[in-house]
Structure 1
Amino acid sequence: MYPLTILFCLLFSLLPTSLMAADGGGHAYTDSFIGIICVCIFLISYLFVLGEEYFHLRKSKPVIVAAGLIWLLIGLAFTLQGDKETAAAAFRHNLLEYAELFFFLLAAMSFITTLEERQLFAALRSWLISCKLTLVQIYWATGALAFFLSPIADNLSTALLMGAVVMAVGQQNIKFVTVGCINVVVAANAGGAFSPFGDITTLMVWQKGVIGFGGFFLLFIPAIISWLVPAGLMSFAIEKASPPPEQRNEKRSMKPGALQVLLLFLLTILLTISSHSVLNLPSVLGMMTGLGILKLYGYYLSRFDTNIRDTGHIHNHHIDNLTDLRQMKGDHTDVIRRFDIFKVVERSSWDTLMFFYGVVLSVGGLATLGYLGLLSDLIYSSLGPTLANSLIGILSSLIDNIPVMFAVLTMQPEMSTNQWLLVTLTTGIGGSLLSIGSAAGIALMGQAQGVYTFYTHLKWSWAIGLGYLLSIAAHLWLNGA
């Protein structure tokens, strides 16, 4: 963590003097005291994000405070110049961008959480474990499922699900669990790179209108190469043996309504795509409409579902903070607890959603001061788009890919569609180079604590890096520079 901290602190100190002295957007705030203070505030807040496990401080807290301080200073800077309109208009513009992202993600998370509550993923996991597969077959099955599930579900949930299968099968086989977890992380990140719904970065690119929905599928072959190359190399480290028979006893089945919720999710995606492509309406409209339909179906389930216990990361969600119906009715009838869609929505990752607020507003604030425009000129003009986009992917393994991609989208460098596809690919798969480079890797480090670690992942970074380079080459060859 300390080398990363030092590197991140030096990022802006290494910029040339001309960058700090230029004019941004008609206002010379990049070389002003207020501008430099805003940069320092953002860097300090992000150091706490990088050290989340060390400080035990949720990542959303420092960036929300940083966003508030940055915009207060921006408002002060413009007011001192006699401009009382620009800062407010810029803040509202960034807030609108966040609002669209927030409601889209809230709807998607609600569907995924409901599917987990209905035990769809638990049944899939149970079926995989019960199959009479060898360790090598489990390795390839979990990787393939992670690759093809993450374009629909998010890569974090996919990695946790497949990681649970790897650990349940491997148990005492440390080498298998380690390599299997790395394989799942790489596959989940790669699968999310060729779908607007697979990762936050691809979603932001699609919502920005830079790439059409169908354009992302041009990344399918480069994305699968970025997984297959390291997966094939790591597979030689797995013993050709079968898991112990006792690992095949777990039996789980889906709750009523699981397949109906899955169908509603697919129809919601179809509605979102068609309304955005045909009617040119914001994609969030389709997702929120689907969420409303899910809530209506949740009312139907609540009339007939009497389950009071659940498993997974939303364990016992019906029991939390429920009011005793006997008190409501004033009698001594039995307590009946049913499915409640609002309890499911409560289980969404609110820390992640609030983190996006801090990132979007902080980066948007630095863009308003002119820093991102100057940084865009420095990177893309000096290095060229291909090299710049390739290096940005490597940077996303050290820094979360969300602020990196949002910064690129805010810069809006002049690039062809294929170059926008390239930066979408690299920020999606670049996080696999290190275990801390993606939410999937960080989550699995916690799930397989002591077995899958930063250093065990680092031992295979050379293979992942080879897949990263070959996927870039495949994109440039197939789709053009």
Structure 2
Amino acid sequence: MLMRHHALRQPRPARRWLFLWAMALLIFSPCALAITGELDLTSSTTGFLALGIFILAYALVMAEEKIHMRKSKPVLVAAGIIWGLIGWVYVQNGLSETSEYAFRMTLLEFTELMLFLLVAMTYINAMEERRVFDALRSWMLRKGFNYRTLFWLTGGLAFFLSPIADNLTTALLMCAVITKVAEGDKRFINLACINIVVAANAGGAFSPFGDITTLMVWQAGIIPFQEFFILFVPALVNFLLPATIMSLVIKDQKPASVYEEVIMKRGARRIIALFLLTITTAVLCHTLLDLPPVLGMMTGLGYLQFFGFYLRKSLPKSLARKREIYSREGDNKKLAQLGSVVPFDVFNRVARAEWDTLLFFYGVVMCVGGLGFMGYLGLLSEALYSGWNPTWANVVLGVVSAVVDNIPVMFAVLTMQPAMSDGQWLLITLTAGVGGSLLSIGSAAGVAVMGQARGSYTFMGHLRWTPVILLGYVASILVHLWLNAASFG
């Protein structure tokens, strides 16, 4: 997607992930998604129609909670119509090969990222099936923390887990703890859920694996893997400042104790280790071999498949051995649990991936790519990055991501290819990542937590604390501008 800009800065082959072998390296070499069509359709009836269709589709996406229609549906249809309109116009002008090439480039961009995300989601689902997250929740419940400790613990874990487990999964896990421990205390649940959403989004902003937007920037080859981590302190400020203010109104009381014992299923710890090995493989493919990181992720899926095969084959012997041990010890509870153990199947985990999210991402990528091909992103880039200072443009786009999902915002910026320093690219990564925290509907984590803590964590409950969250947003930007000033050169 952004290989042209990267190529200007780095003469050797771009170390990007998610591009297919030699052909993809050529295809996605700087120009892939920055393609602008030979025909300027921005002032045409076709262009206006396409723009209107995209706006309508996105209005339906934003109304997902009200109309109960999955967000992937409208953008999938919109993508088909937009590219259909482009194809028709280009066929009429004898330029069908140009539109076909642009569509293929846009599709390949999505495919690479989808495979990366699919592997990550499969590992997360595998750990969920092996009860890793249930065990973590159980541990926190048994400790009997007071409200203030629970507020900081769930927020802190959300911040440090989201760079690895993604902000959505982390937010849901921490929300499950809060709603169970503080059941009935809507005021505390609302406050704790706000903290979790802010922390999860902030934690995801400084890691290439923490959020789709950071993944997109790393994929584009603009920022090296290790450079994302200079956003750690700004992201930490974004979490800590509003959390500190919110914690002042939490009553110093202890919830009723909740006892829940969860035993992880066989192989859980080894799957965690394989996930870390997979991430390491992806990073090494990118940094040492100049190969797309998706190669490492798909190899990691192979690790999981082999391990799943081992778990299935060795299950009978393992069950027989454990039955003998538990019978000798007289542990009837563990004997009963053995009856529920089923063989691990990696393909069941793939099937449980967030397909609505992946298809939504496809629709957004294709819609934005089509509008960019028509020339609209060129106009937007000119207005934002030529008419404004890049810093202000990136700050404003971060606020916009609280209303419009950060995926199309980041994808649009990447497709525009504005000439910016690494510091500015990190700034838009930060603002797009944490800007969604300003509203409960501004991020996938916020929307998911609203569904899980329905009635306790609400849009208006979050909105009352938006000024405090905005304070953290501004502070994180200022810290980045000051602390990482050298990257703006």
What is the aligned counterpart of 1:242 among 243, 254, 266?
254
Q: Which residue of 1 aligns with 2:24?
A: none
TM-score, length basis structure 1: 0.88
Does residue 212 of structure 2 align to residue 212 of structure 1? no
Q: Does the aligned pair in 1 maintain the 2:86–2:99 contact within 8 Å? A: yes
Gaps of at least 5 residues in structure 1 are 1-23, 309-333
Distance in 2 (alpha carbons) for counterparts of 1:295 and 1:66: 36
Q: 2:37·2:99 contact (CA, 8 Å) conserved in 1?
A: no
Report the counterpart of residue 15 of structure 1 in structure 2.
none
Structure 1 position 336, deviation (Å): 9.8
Q: 2:343: which partner in 1?
A: 338
Alignment of 1:117-132 (within 5 A): 117-132=129-144
Q: Measure the CA separation in 2 of the matches of 1:80 and 1:173.
A: 63
How far does residue 169 in structure 1 lie from its aligned partner after superposition?
A: 1.3
- Paired position in structure 1 for 2:267: 257
Shift of 1:35: 1.0
Question: Where does residue 434 of structure 2 map in the other structure?
Answer: 429
Q: Which residues of 2 match residues 439-478 of structure 1 at below 5 A?
A: 439-478=444-483
CA distance in 1, matches of 2:142, 2:314: 30
RMSD: 1.6
Name the structure 1 match of 2:362: 357
Gap runs ≥5 in structure 2:
1-35, 320-338
Contact 1:175 1:238 (8 Å CA) reproduced:
no
Match of 1:56 in 2: 68
Tell me if structure 1 keeps the 8 A contact 2:167–2:445.
Answer: yes
1:224 correspondence with 2:236: yes
Distance 1:424 1:38 in 2: 28
Match of 1:18 in 2: none
Using the alignment, how far apart are the partners of 2:419 and 2:287 within structure 1? Answer: 23
* The one of 344, 347, 355 aligned to 2:352: 347
Distance 2:275 2:341 in 1: 28
Counterpart CA distance in 2 for 1:87 and 1:114 is 40
Matched, 1:88 2:100: yes
Please state whether the residue corresponding to 2:290 is helix, strand or coil: coil
In structure 2, how many angstroms separate the alpha carbons of the residues matched to 1:388 and 1:44? 25
Per-residue Cα deviation, 1:163-213 (whole angstroms, up to 9, x for no partner): 111111111222211110000000000000000000000000000001110
Q: Secondary structure at the match of 2:205?
A: helix
Question: 1:105 aligns to what?
Answer: 117
1:292 to 283, 302, 312: 302
Q: Does the 8 Å CA contact 1:360/1:403 hold for their aligned counterparts?
A: yes
Determine the C-alpha separation between the residues in 2 that align with 1:382 and 1:89: 31
Asked if 1:35 is matched to 2:47, the reply is yes
Q: Is the 8 A contact 2:440 2:458 kept in 1?
A: yes
Q: Kindly report which structure 2 residues correspond to 1:139-218, keeping only aligned pairs within 5 A, or say none.
A: 139-218=151-230
Residue matched to 1:401: 406
Q: Percent identity?
A: 55
Q: TM-score, normalised on structure 2? A: 0.86
Q: Distance in 1 between matches of 2:433 and 2:309?
A: 37
2:18 match: none
Q: Distance in 1 between matches of 2:360 and 2:144?
A: 42
What is the aligned length? 431
Deviations 1:292-311 (A, max 9, x none): 11011111112244799xxx
Partner of 1:268: 278
Question: Which deviates more, 103-112 or 272-281?
Answer: 272-281
Letter in 1 for 2:280: L
Question: Is 1:305–1:339's contact at 8 Å kept on the other side of the alignment?
Answer: no
Could you tell me which amino acid in structure 1 is paired with residue 139 of structure 2?
W
> Match for 2:350: what amino acid?
V
Equivalent pair of 1:128/1:165 in contact (CA under 8 Å)? yes
- Bigger mean CA offset, 31-40 vs 105-114: 31-40
